[in-house]
Structure 1
């Protein structure tokens, strides 16, 4: 059908004439030449503008009331009124002159208005004619337009219907491919088909078509089956640690467009499984039922405490449930780690984007962190609730805290071991481990308090503050055994072992304080006397010393088997025990040494400068040595026999160390004073030798085996032959290596002339005073004192004009020079 021709607006000659007539009826404005050529008279307004009174009337903001008020207030109202009347007359004359001057122009305009009015009277008829022509034109155009609009609508409907049919047919075809896939099914491909079908259905708005809706119900049922199968594949892959299966399941969810919700669901599933396992493990009602109770005997009471007869079974049931809980927590965390590992390794085809980036944003916690945090919070909350609500759980986990701690440690170690794979992050961070151990700190605190209470209560029972009794050896042994038991329970747990050792350290400090309190009761002159028989106060101090010595030895033996880091926790406590043990007998040992020292000092009352056969043939010991022997025998029988272990025991104790120190000091003191003896004859040397033998025998039999004293004994053995060496032989004698330089220097004074005074003689000191000074000085300071005497001797020799010195002089200088060089 041909399209209608475009209508044109046709004007009849009558219409044209009508418009032209209307246009000619309006006169054109008069030409400037038609107006009067006379110049305009001056306008009175110009005069008003310069007038101070009338200029106000030209202002747009003129106010008659303000003008009148000003005129009245100034008292010039009459003159102002006369001035205004004159202005009005002037304006009227000017208007009249203007009208007369423009009279011809006004008449011409009036004639033009009359002509225009006549022309306008015929204009309505012409307008009506024009309107009828326009109506006719509109009727000619409306029919083609309506036909065109109807045809366009029909075409659009046909196209839309065809498009719906085309996409519906494609959806049915895709649905058929999805529903009739051959086994084994390709889950990822089916998920991709489902996603394509769903997008086609939603984007093309195919809802409402019965066949399509029926097909979509089948597709949705197939999608539900796909989700179930994908979930089963993921669960199987996690259970078998097969990352390919986990990836296949995740690929299905990705193709379905549901990867993030699926991952969130799996994470929530693992979190819920972990929290549920904790709640089930601490369900006291179920524990009581498992222990054979119900509500009868052995059942659980309202307070969470099993009734009589069911505690043991309930405890075993609780530990068994905790073991199962640890297994479930391990499964939940490792499952989340495997899921996270697959998401980290696998990439989306085509885009090569990691699956993890689809479900995780930078700055968010990882999947394992979310699962672990939820588990730790549930675990801490349940344990805290059980601690306050169930006295049974509190008691079991407090007494068996090492077992609970071991479970937690094993869980953490297993998770770290099973997730320690190169190229992947472990399931736990150090902070995560600390959070889990912190969750059971409430029981750790109770366990440590119980450990401290058990030991401190026992110490309070054997060392009462009010009484003055000394515990028995069996009580001390039981205390040590209890400490050892506390250590053995936590030996394999480093962190817990350190905490337990801290509590044991506090208990040992308490023991030292109680022993020190008992020791202070027994101090005084009675505890320090060494001339009579042993006193009760001394026996009490001996018992304290031996008890503390036993504690120190056996606890040190236990500590020696522990790691160095943890064993340091007891160092201060053991040091306190050692100090108190020493303090309990130190005054006695000081008195014994002072007594032996006073005997040695009497050496200087003995005449070692006697010559003759009588002195040589005298085989008896010197008087001072006999007194020293008697003192040593007395000390052994009355004191040391009660402090030192039996001869069969080779263990080194505190008392053994103190006796050895005293014996060494006795030998050193004897050698020192023997070197100070002057004059010393050959007979005196023999007597000195016999005294050395008697000293060696007295010390070895009554104090300590001299062979085990080391350097002091070697010095004693070396000093004996040195006495009989010629001065010329001393310089190269190897015996000097075992003697202190000060001993050799002092001995050489006995070989020198009388004018070579020793420091003892030069400073007019007693042997005791000089010995005390030697105790406080080093070898270099002693040499300075000797050097001063040598300088005096040199001055005396040179003042006499002699050129030869005693043979001991250069030897002493040589020894002193070597000593100075060694120090430098």
Structure 2
């Protein structure tokens, strides 16, 4: 075994001696070939660099016209220098130093060209500079550097413009008029200081506008310009690294900077804080002007005819990114207004305080005294002042209008505490007006004066339709307070009217016709004369407390309609009714129109109630058959009313609905008020007729009263009409 192993080792050593020498020789020759190839590549690159250096020297002598070609040569030189180290090769060191110096020089020239092109809005200069940076592979960092420098310059200018020390120095310099004229200004105590602040703030907006125009111009060239060799648009090159919209990024940075600088300035100086918050509309006006100028810039669409479809798509994407809104995004306009939000909130809070203070002063809760017209004029002046100042901006105006609405609600709440709603001194209608009734009248007068002042201002102002509508709609709350102030008295008057009308049932309407009652000038009843006197006294004593306005007029007209309703209702319930009674009742109908004169100048304005009054009077003299066929039934004269009247023509054993229910006329009248539905009334009347039928059957009567078939037929017709 041992001998075999030794033989194997000897054989391996013999083979190794035969292989190792050829391997070492081959390895050395391969290494020499590789070094020879590297040397050839190095010489080739050096030769190319010598050539590029020579060409570059010539191009640099051409100045700005050849700068893009020089950048291309530098780009080629960088390509040939990539991955190799030429340190220690003396022959090329001079050229390498020249290339480094030339690259730095070309970059500086391109930066200057780009700055001048942006400042002068020269697309050719900007395009050439961008081409240089593209060739030098510096496009992205250089564009971002331009944007960043613009933001930093804006921040520095804004910080200086809003710095109290700079403002003080600015006022001091401008105030030097000659020897002995210098003074030390105190921030906030001089008009020049305030004027300097607003001048500087306006300068800030001007700087923002100019910077925006520059960046917008830069983006426009990036969208249009493409490399003539690779045909790559510069904007595409930026998007490869995630920089899709430099204008949007710039605007986000600018608005964020403005927000921080304005907040810092207001925190550092109480005067600036008071100026920006107290005179916020002026600050908002400056920013409004800035936004309007930005919106009036030349539309990018104007250049689309000059570019290819790909550039057009890039421009469309850029615009979409700039205007991008929705969930997770804010519009550029919203970004701008967000910078002013703290000052807007403070201003609106102060504005609301001024408005509410005016109401609180006018309607002091320490006394029960009602405010004066001068107090209302003071509130109106404050409202007009706040709306006028806020009219510089539609959104601000709408918000201040909401404050005005809140102020009107507060005024209504304060006036409600002044209004007496219950008690005998509010509802009495026997003697002269009480102090409580006079107070309510004064409150209604003042609220009417206030409403008129608001409407006059809205009619002469240039407020937006939204703000005007919001304020006008809030006036309905004032109408509600005015209604609450007058309604208790009107309800009491209505109760007294019904009490007077109820006395008609105490009079005798069963007498036959006489020569006196048969004349057209038949005397009216005693209750009617009492009603006329009462309504005339109400006009003189109570209605005179209130102004002649729509709210009061409508409530009084409603009272007049209620009077007609009660009168016709109880006239239909009168029984027995003789021919003489009909004539006197007809005279009462005629006198009712005269009685209503104190309530409304034109009784015809009462509409349906007046038609009922005029239509029911002729029915007094018609037979039951004619009544049942009258064309006025249903629409003008309710069926239930005619059926009530037909009970007066029926025999006594056919009892009226209220008699069947064992009610008084007063209770029945209240039931009718509580059940305005014609269906419910007809059902009750049907019960009365059914009770009559049962009574006839119980006494074994052989026939019904002649009027029963007429009433039953009319009832069926009415039930069908009302779909009972």
Global fold match (TM > 0.5): yes
| Alignment-derived partner of residue 495 in structure 1 | 395
Distance in 1 of aligned mates of 2:276 and 2:674: 60
| Alignment-derived partner of residue 268 in structure 1 | 148
| Alignment-derived partner of residue 588 in structure 1 | 489
Contact kept, 8 Å, 1:287 with 1:314, in 2: the verdict is yes
Contact kept, 8 Å, 1:660 with 1:704, in 2: the verdict is no
Contact kept, 8 Å, 1:699 with 1:705, in 2: the verdict is no
Contact kept, 8 Å, 1:468 with 1:518, in 2: the verdict is yes
The answer to whether residue 272 in structure 2 is matched with residue 393 in structure 1 is yes
Q: How much does 1:399 deviate?
A: 2.7
| Alignment-derived partner of residue 105 in structure 1 | none
Q: How much does 1:532 deviate?
A: 0.4
The answer to whether residue 517 in structure 2 is matched with residue 615 in structure 1 is yes
Distance in 2 of aligned mates of 1:173 and 1:362: 35
Summarize deviations over 1:460-504 as a string: whole Å, max 9, x none. 222222112111112212212321332233246343233323332
1:802 alignment partner, SS class: coil
Summarize deviations over 1:202-226 as a string: whole Å, max 9, x none. 5554565354146326623641354
The answer to whether residue 253 in structure 2 is matched with residue 374 in structure 1 is yes
| Alignment-derived partner of residue 536 in structure 2 | 633
Match of 1:689 among 561, 577, 586: 586
Distance in 2 of aligned mates of 1:583 and 1:297: 66
After TM superposition, the structure 1 stretch with the greater mean CA deviation from structure 2, 478-487 or 351-360, is: 351-360
| Alignment-derived partner of residue 10 in structure 1 | none
Q: How much does 1:160 deviate?
A: 7.7
Match of 1:505 among 366, 391, 405: 405
Q: How does 1:35-184 map to 2 (within 5 A)?
A: 162-163=43-44, 166-181=47-62
After TM superposition, the structure 1 stretch with the greater mean CA deviation from structure 2, 279-288 or 589-598, is: 279-288
The answer to whether residue 115 in structure 2 is matched with residue 252 in structure 1 is no
Match of 1:194 among 60, 64, 74: 74
| Alignment-derived partner of residue 440 in structure 2 | 541
| Alignment-derived partner of residue 71 in structure 1 | none
Q: How does 1:636-785 map to 2 (within 5 A)?
A: 636-645=539-548, 652-703=549-600, 705-736=602-633, 737-777=635-675, 778-785=677-684
After TM superposition, the structure 1 stretch with the greater mean CA deviation from structure 2, 759-768 or 196-205, is: 196-205
| Alignment-derived partner of residue 12 in structure 2 | none
The answer to whether residue 320 in structure 2 is matched with residue 425 in structure 1 is yes
**607 and 338 in structure 1: CA distance in 2 versus 1, 3 angstrom threshold:** farther
Q: How much does 1:334 deviate?
A: 4.1
Structure 2 unpaired stretches of 5+ = 5-16, 302-315
After TM superposition, the structure 1 stretch with the greater mean CA deviation from structure 2, 223-232 or 764-773, is: 223-232
Distance in 1 of aligned mates of 2:484 and 2:513: 50
Contact kept, 8 Å, 1:270 with 1:333, in 2: the verdict is no
**251 and 753 in structure 1: CA distance in 2 versus 1, 3 angstrom threshold:** farther
After TM superposition, the structure 1 stretch with the greater mean CA deviation from structure 2, 385-394 or 627-636, is: 385-394
CA RMSD of aligned residues (A): 3.8
The answer to whether residue 710 in structure 2 is matched with residue 808 in structure 1 is yes
Give the TM-score taking structure 2 as reference length. Answer: 0.82
**159 and 246 in structure 1: CA distance in 2 versus 1, 3 angstrom threshold:** closer
| Alignment-derived partner of residue 308 in structure 2 | none
Work out the number of aligned pairs and report it: 666
**439 and 513 in structure 1: CA distance in 2 versus 1, 3 angstrom threshold:** same
Q: How much does 1:252 deviate?
A: 2.4
Distance in 2 of aligned mates of 1:746 and 1:781: 14
Summarize deviations over 1:117-136 as a string: whole Å, max 9, x none. xxxxxxxxxxxxxxxxx9xx
Distance in 1 of aligned mates of 2:48 and 2:696: 136
The answer to whether residue 325 in structure 2 is matched with residue 442 in structure 1 is no
Contact kept, 8 Å, 1:530 with 1:591, in 2: the verdict is yes
After TM superposition, the structure 1 stretch with the greater mean CA deviation from structure 2, 793-802 or 673-682, is: 793-802
2:385 alignment partner, SS class: helix
Distance in 2 of aligned mates of 1:788 and 1:298: 101
After TM superposition, the structure 1 stretch with the greater mean CA deviation from structure 2, 598-607 or 484-493, is: 484-493
Contact kept, 8 Å, 2:71 with 2:136, in 1: the verdict is yes
Match of 2:200 among 296, 317, 321: 321
1:735 alignment partner, SS class: coil
After TM superposition, the structure 1 stretch with the greater mean CA deviation from structure 2, 540-549 or 193-202, is: 193-202
Distance in 2 of aligned mates of 1:715 and 1:791: 28
**326 and 790 in structure 1: CA distance in 2 versus 1, 3 angstrom threshold:** same
After TM superposition, the structure 1 stretch with the greater mean CA deviation from structure 2, 694-703 or 593-602, is: 694-703
| Alignment-derived partner of residue 309 in structure 2 | none
Distance in 2 of aligned mates of 1:766 and 1:683: 25
Distance in 1 of aligned mates of 2:237 and 2:36: 45
Distance in 2 of aligned mates of 1:250 and 1:539: 84
Distance in 2 of aligned mates of 1:247 and 1:151: 50
**688 and 278 in structure 1: CA distance in 2 versus 1, 3 angstrom threshold:** farther
Contact kept, 8 Å, 1:299 with 1:306, in 2: the verdict is no
Distance in 2 of aligned mates of 1:326 and 1:154: 66
| Alignment-derived partner of residue 686 in structure 2 | 787
Contact kept, 8 Å, 2:158 with 2:261, in 1: the verdict is yes
| Alignment-derived partner of residue 73 in structure 1 | none
Summarize deviations over 1:692-728 as a string: whole Å, max 9, x none. 2222112123455312111111211111222233443
2:432 alignment partner, SS class: coil
Q: How much does 1:810 deviate?
A: 4.7
Q: How much does 1:235 deviate?
A: 0.5
2:322 alignment partner, SS class: coil
Distance in 2 of aligned mates of 1:786 and 1:797: 17
Distance in 2 of aligned mates of 1:389 and 1:450: 21
Q: How much does 1:184 deviate?
A: 7.7
Distance in 2 of aligned mates of 1:332 and 1:154: 57
Match of 1:383 among 262, 266, 275: 262
Q: How much does 1:230 deviate?
A: 3.9
1:466 alignment partner, SS class: coil
1:700 alignment partner, SS class: coil
| Alignment-derived partner of residue 598 in structure 1 | 499
After TM superposition, the structure 1 stretch with the greater mean CA deviation from structure 2, 278-287 or 776-785, is: 278-287
Distance in 1 of aligned mates of 2:271 and 2:156: 21
Q: How much does 1:525 deviate?
A: 1.5
2:645 alignment partner, SS class: helix
Query: Who wins on radius of gyration, i.e. which is larger?
Result: 1
Q: How much does 1:674 deviate?
A: 1.5
| Alignment-derived partner of residue 228 in structure 1 | 111
| Alignment-derived partner of residue 311 in structure 2 | none
2:622 alignment partner, SS class: coil
2:576 alignment partner, SS class: coil
Distance in 2 of aligned mates of 1:597 and 1:336: 82
| Alignment-derived partner of residue 159 in structure 2 | 279
1:372 alignment partner, SS class: helix
Contact kept, 8 Å, 2:67 with 2:132, in 1: the verdict is yes
Distance in 2 of aligned mates of 1:317 and 1:667: 73
Contact kept, 8 Å, 1:234 with 1:246, in 2: the verdict is yes
